[in-house]
Structure 1
Amino acid sequence: MSIPDYQTCMLPLLRLSAQKKELSMGEAVDIISDQFKLSEEQKKQLLPSGSQRVIANRIGWAKTYLLKAGLLTSPKRGVITPTEEGLRILAKQPEKLNLELLSQYPSFQQFKKRSNAKEYLSPQSDSKATPCNEEFETPDESLAKIYRTCKAATLDELLTKILSCSFSFFEQLVIDLLLKLGYGGSREDAGMALGKSGDEGLDGVINEDRLGLSVIYLQAKRWKSDSVVGRPEIQKFAGALLGKNAPKGIFITTSSFSKEARDYASSLSSKIILIDGKELLDLMWEVDLGLYTTESYSLKKLDLDYLSEN
């Protein structure tokens, strides 16, 4: 038997999670490999990059998609359990799970929308379908789509992790992000500034440059992703800035801002930068905060200047 694709791994993974109180991914890979009667050579087969076993990678993506659909949950690192919806699906004794079935769940639809990478699957698609369509896409388009899908999955997981952490950790995250973006001077200075303002509507103040010639006041809110920061919160922040005669402020949230909040911020004489959850995650991605690179591919094109005999 060949190594199963990630969609084929979905149902065995969900079933296995229901049989165990807490299922580790390492245990899942071993058991599912045996269920599919993979040879030792197949179990050890690596991705082209050599960084991970193929079967572990495919089961990992099966886990990711089941989490996004709300059929699995991860109570702690590296461990999965089925949700009530996952158990309900299993009670129906389905023959298979695939992306087409998962697409009925709003949470999965939102994940696909965030990744901007639709899976062109139909009832006629076979089990080896992948998140790209070679018939309609160029290799460059397929590669870009896969990159966006991987990025969206990682940032989704990152946001979940941030929301599960304490507010003190979130404060430290804000400090580290601003430092990586070039603000705050030293880490010690930034750490002393944030959370020490003591003013209503302000969480802290940080140097805009190393010399401290200008300062920026901060507000940070670790809200659930479905929450919305409205105009009243921005008005309160703007009032606090006015009380400090401060021309600049940054308002950071893990959720989003209403249109009224953004319109109000843009109408002020003082400069208030609004950073919502998506922008926060994109900045963390850009500066590698809480993330590390696992793969790097270098694409080559012909150097026609060199290859030209003229």
Structure 2
Amino acid sequence: MAIPDYQDFMYPFLKLLEDGKEHTLQEAYIFLAEYYNLTNEEKEEMLPSGKQLVYQNRIGWARTYLKKAMLLNTVRRATFTITDRGRSVIQDPEVSNLTKDYLMKYKEFQEFQDKKNSNETLLPVDSVEEKLTPQEKLDHSYKFIQQQVSDEILEKVKSCTPEFFERLVVELLVSMGYGGSIQDAGKAIGRSGDEGIDGVIKEDVLGLDMIYVQAKRWEGVVGRPEIQKFAGSLEGQRARKGVFITTSDFTEGAKDYVNRIEKKIILINGLKLANYMFKYDIGVSKVSEYTLKKVDLDYFEG
């Protein structure tokens, strides 16, 4: 038989968790390979990149979809338990398999599918596949994976310690070209004691201009009063530019305010923070890398 697709793996994955105990991703690999009687050849089949086994990649995506539908919980890295919602699905006699269409009944999964990234709706690849060129399929797949990874990044950032959050912000700003060195930026930025950090860093290596930074690991949205207070702090720090980072979001009033004042303040919400971490390789590692090529017509005409 062919290796099942990720949707086929979802229901038996949930069955593995039915006992309410913690189970690891490695256990899921073994259980699901046996469940579908995969041959050694099928278990050894690799993705075109040669970096991951096909069946394990599909099980990984099954796990992601179940998590987004809140049918399972991640208790720690690669370890899961079933949720009450997941248990009700398993106990429903009318449900014997799960599909993406079935998961769309859950609001959280709908939000995952409809989430916008930079004001662009990320469509599931299979819903538009027939209309796309091969390169467009690659682009959509990349954006879809980026969205999923960014979501996981933000979850991790929200759960990290204040010390870790401080280091993360320093590493990100230095990777983006600010703050000089890790050592310089680290000395310039410190914890403020309210689940946040603040400080002044160099805009360039020579320190010709300075940027005031404030970052808050908050759940609630940041409103105009907080941004007004931040703008006032720029004066005391002799800074004309500021960056305000939050793991949550900003109110429309806060966004409108920064567009009206003379000082330059950049607002980075949780989604942008996760996307910057993805772009600048902070907290992520490369799995595969593809280079698209085309025929060099000049070479042959020469």
TM over 0.5: yes
Q: Distance in 1 between matches of 2:159 and 2:23?
A: 20
**Contact 1:3–1:42 at 8 Å: present in 2 too?**
yes
Report deviation, 1:36. Answer: 0.6
* Aligned-partner residue type, residue 204 of structure 2: D
Q: Given the alignment of the two structures, is residue 229 of structure 1 paired with residue 222 of structure 2, yes or no?
A: yes
**Contact 2:249–2:269 at 8 Å: present in 1 too?**
yes
**Contact 1:197–1:205 at 8 Å: present in 2 too?**
no
Q: How do 1:185-264 residues align onto structure 2 when only pairs under 5 Å count?
A: 185-195=180-190, 203-224=198-219, 227-264=220-257
The percentage of aligned residue pairs carrying the same residue is: 47
Q: Distance in 2 between matches of 1:133 and 1:212?
A: 49
Q: Distance in 2 between matches of 1:179 and 1:159?
A: 19
Three-state SS of the structure 1 residue aligned to 2:51 is coil
Q: Which residue of 2 aligns with 1:39?
A: 39
Q: Distance in 2 between matches of 1:207 and 1:195?
A: 15
Report deviation, 1:308. Answer: 3.1
Q: Given the alignment of the two structures, is residue 293 of structure 1 paired with residue 283 of structure 2, yes or no?
A: no
**Contact 2:189–2:197 at 8 Å: present in 1 too?**
no
Q: Distance in 2 between matches of 1:189 and 1:98?
A: 51
Q: Distance in 2 between matches of 1:42 and 1:20?
A: 30
Q: Distance in 2 between matches of 1:202 and 1:15?
A: 44
**Contact 1:69–1:108 at 8 Å: present in 2 too?**
yes
Q: Distance in 2 between matches of 1:13 and 1:103?
A: 18
Q: Which residue of 2 aligns with 1:182?
A: 177
Cα RMSD over matched residues?
Answer: 2.0
Q: Deviations over 1:7-58 (max 9, x none)?
A: 0000000110222511110110111100111111111111121111111010
| Structure 1: runs of 5+ lacking an equivalent | 120-129
* 1:41/1:196 CA distance change after superposition, 3 Å: closer
**Contact 1:202–1:240 at 8 Å: present in 2 too?**
no
Q: Which residue of 1 aligns with 2:71?
A: 71
Report deviation, 1:238. Answer: 1.1
**Contact 1:11–1:97 at 8 Å: present in 2 too?**
yes
| Structure 2: runs of 5+ lacking an equivalent | none
Q: Which residue of 2 aligns with 1:122?
A: none
Q: Which residue of 1 aligns with 2:30?
A: 30
Q: Which residue of 2 aligns with 1:156?
A: 151
Aligned residues: 296
* Aligned-partner residue type, residue 297 of structure 1: Y
* Aligned-partner residue type, residue 15 of structure 1: K
Give the alignment's TM-score, normalised by structure 2.
Answer: 0.92
Give the alignment's TM-score, normalised by structure 1.
Answer: 0.89
Q: Which residue of 2 aligns with 1:95?
A: 96
Report deviation, 1:132. Answer: 4.9
